[in-house]
Structure 1
């Protein structure tokens, strides 16, 4: 019963965080509010504390969230930006491990170099979810956004693999760069292969089930929810990266287009993942806040063990955070220079590289829940029974870096992003208009062919005339999208027209909904009839609200 009670309290806290954001006098990002609520629940008067089991945490929370992010990652942009993403997710991780390892060994001589490398691996993964929650409505340049998303997808695995080697070197006192490199390649490639194989197998099973008319949408969505957990477990069981396996499964399904043509399944799938991400991300940050009292207790013990006062202890996270920012700034500057040179060589229009863009990319390297779970997964003792060197200090530094990166990003990212000048004609908007024009042209052509076919086959002239009239009415809805490249005045007029049409349609749908409630209140229709008609109204409204005004 205590587990059920704790789970309900955590869910209530996550829901309350959204309400609190609306009533707070100062706008704060959701992660900080949830961390504060989690810390408040951990005070003795509440008596609610959840011990974070790293293995259980990685299994329950990380696979589905990374799977969903990988599914949404644009495959074209991922292929085009594979070099900078790899440079951040692999190159910067290695640089972070080395820099933090040597720096911490110099800062705290009692900490062996191998243990310092383990801390560097802990601090290398970034959290793109926290960045999106912090930036809010501030617009991130598309290329930068895709790079950050790809980095967060891939550096979790590289950081955790590096952590494995750092811990092994600390425990055994031996380390071979050749063996570590070979093992890393095997673990990474094996994880990608497992994820691809399971996703391909899942797509084949769904195809055969659909052919046999066993295409119940709810069942398929439930099976899809199990896929990231299965990919992670199989990967870990085979000794490869379960995280990369979950990522590869998500990206493979995106490439296969396994939900093509299945409206109900797509809608249920979209709603399910949106709710799951909200709840899981919220619980992660609440649990992070829950660990703060334990982290402070460990920090007190570690302070006594290394013989420093609280002032020096409190300075460690600031010093390490400064090093992380410096290393990331230099690496990002070099990497973005190469990205822009490569894009220009392909004839692409790219935004000029400015210090603001480099600073925004640096500050977007927010650390999150994976860092905390990784540092708590460090062993308590070595094989000879002695304590793992620096573990208490590492937990304190990691927690401090998480909070500092969140606070720094909250204070600086939104104003930085607002001052970045984006191109007047957003390439995403242009691409969307072109896609709408192409799809509208295809629709009109198909309707024209159907109209001519009906005219030839119809025995009744009146029926053929009615069919042509209806087809013309449907075609008219597509006409506004056929000229996306008109002059500026025409485009502005078209945008105003779309906005007016959207407002009128939404007002009409609200009137329909009010009338349905009135009819049900007078018992002129029952609830079944109301739900059926309401479903059509809601679907139409969802389509209207999903359109971005250009």
Structure 2
């Protein structure tokens, strides 16, 4: 395929994304389901070339920005508060699932070496960040469950990738050391945190000095790939490095980015993430043809692999249920024993958590990276694709129903001290105090009565200016200078409330967006008044 044909294919794929996404909205289906099915159908269109994915390229193109997007908007205080639960899912559940799958694979395929069985378990064990986001953004979950699932989706890929690498080394050398594996895992995680933290800090220092909107937006977009590639080049976890950098950037973006950069960058970023997420699912569907052809066709899959694949899918789902319900039972026992610091989920919430285990691009990319000499490679490829299909099509489409049947309610204790209206009142109070201070001239005369009245009544009013053209321009400039100062005061108060854990991230982003728009309007009006 020449470059021009490849470009035409990419353009056609994105056009298909728009059509399939529109159909999903009309049919009230999760877009991931429509894209996956649509890609699978397109893969067998006569004349369309077979799509062969380079697994390393897929991971480096798609994974960093999608991880960064999740980390950038992660509520850091709840993330820290529930870090133990997130680690239990991102490490414990992944390792447990990999072990269960390895044992099941060995039982049904005794000729398969243990290293290959563990590799299969590592491939299908981590739920996917992209799949989780695609489904979770369309359902309503209590804050604790949302934090646990989002945190898990950010970190579990690192566990699965490390397990897979150890399995490949074991298959190649025939030796395995648990102590070495644990030590290497700890080093990869600690190194990833260090690299990501350093890159996040460099991003903060860089953006303080750039002073140009386009450069700031470009630096904010590129930081995800820089952190991932740097982590991989330094032989630590690129996933952990990207997530750590995203958490740092997300924490400081409220005080580093200007309103113009934030609004423009967010619009660009959301469009890019939409296309990348959609491309992931449609590429998974398009790769179906290559997987089926590689193993000899659907007949071979049905006759020789159906039972084994079904058993492994059941093991994947059952292992997640066993880990989550087992962990919750342990927490319940500790609480009954008097340890009030722990709080179990309860059976309804545990069921929702266990059912939200969709797999996606990481599972497929890792499976495609299997060496040709790996025993059972064909079975692993088919199993990886089947696990993605079943978890996305079945669990993804029914998760909303499971949540409704569970009857989950938000825990009042999880709510921040201030709601949206109270936070807005505090913000407007800070703005009014600023306007009241600046509305009077040095001689004590009231120079901005309309502004003072506007902020006192929390309403908008059009200011009317009289006098000559030069006087009017000076008045308008002074008028909007006060507005800009009030916006800055409101933003400072919002950040103070957020840092003091008086409001959550959702409230911060909602009110910050209002301030950004107000600031952009004032800047545009002021620049139009300048001589």
Q: Compute the RMSD of aligned alpha carbons.
A: 3.2
The change in CA–CA distance for 1:261 and 1:196 in structure 2 (over 3 A counts) is closer
The change in CA–CA distance for 1:469 and 1:224 in structure 2 (over 3 A counts) is closer
1:413 paired with 2:399, answer: yes
Matched residues in 2 for 1:456 and 1:328: separation?
68
Contact 2:116 2:171 (8 Å CA) reproduced? yes
Contact 2:126 2:363 (8 Å CA) reproduced? yes
Matched residues in 1 for 2:418 and 2:330: separation?
26
Work out which of the residue numbers 352, 365, 370 in structure 1 matches 2:362: 370
Tell me the equivalent position of 2:504. Answer: none
Matched residues in 2 for 1:181 and 1:414: separation?
37
Matched residues in 1 for 2:308 and 2:274: separation?
33
Give the deviation of 1:297 after TM superposition: 2.6
The change in CA–CA distance for 1:71 and 1:340 in structure 2 (over 3 A counts) is farther
Q: Matched residue of 1:239: which SS?
A: coil
The change in CA–CA distance for 1:70 and 1:134 in structure 2 (over 3 A counts) is closer
Give the deviation of 1:94 after TM superposition: 1.3
Superposition pairs of residues 210-249 of structure 1, within 5 angstroms: 215-249=211-245
Contact 2:431 2:455 (8 Å CA) reproduced? no
Q: Where has structure 1 moved over 6 Å in runs of 4 or more?
A: 301-304, 338-350
Matched residues in 2 for 1:424 and 1:378: separation?
45
Instruction: Describe the superposition over 1:400-447 as per-residue Cα deviations: whole angstroms up to 9, x where unpaired.
Output: 111111122134311121232314968269533332232233223223
Tell me the equivalent position of 1:8. Answer: 11
Tell me the equivalent position of 1:472. Answer: 453
Superposition pairs of residues 447-462 of structure 1, within 5 angstroms: 447-451=435-439, 454=440, 457-458=443-444
Segments of structure 2 that go 5 or more residues without pairing to the other structure are: 461-489, 491-519, 526-531
Tell me the equivalent position of 1:398. Answer: 384
Give the deviation of 1:6 after TM superposition: 1.8
Tell me the equivalent position of 1:127. Answer: 128
1:317 paired with 2:304, answer: no
Matched residues in 2 for 1:342 and 1:446: separation?
51
Give the deviation of 1:336 after TM superposition: 4.3
Give the deviation of 1:338 after TM superposition: 6.3
1:21 paired with 2:7, answer: no
Superposition pairs of residues 66-465 of structure 1, within 5 angstroms: 66-134=67-135, 137-209=138-210, 215-257=211-253, 260=256, 262-300=258-296, 310-311=302-303, 313-336=305-328, 353-381=345-373, 388-419=374-405, 420-423=407-410, 427=415, 431-451=419-439, 454=440, 457-458=443-444, 464=446
Give the deviation of 1:289 after TM superposition: 0.5
The change in CA–CA distance for 1:417 and 1:78 in structure 2 (over 3 A counts) is same
Matched residues in 2 for 1:430 and 1:339: separation?
30
Instruction: Describe the superposition over 1:447-495 as per-residue Cα deviations: whole angstroms up to 9, x where unpaired.
Output: 33334xx165245xxxx2x62343022221189x9xxxxxxxxxxxxxx
Matched residues in 2 for 1:346 and 1:108: separation?
44
TM-score of the superposed pair, with normalisation by structure 2: 0.80
Matched residues in 2 for 1:424 and 1:205: separation?
40
Instruction: Describe the superposition over 1:51-89 as per-residue Cα deviations: whole angstroms up to 9, x where unpaired.
Output: 100011111111111011111111001100000001111
Give the deviation of 1:11 after TM superposition: 1.4
Segments of structure 1 that go 5 or more residues without pairing to the other structure are: 210-214, 382-387, 482-534, 541-550
Tell me the equivalent position of 1:547. Answer: none
TM-score of the superposed pair, with normalisation by structure 1: 0.77
Matched residues in 1 for 2:177 and 2:164: separation?
15
Matched residues in 1 for 2:97 and 2:41: separation?
33
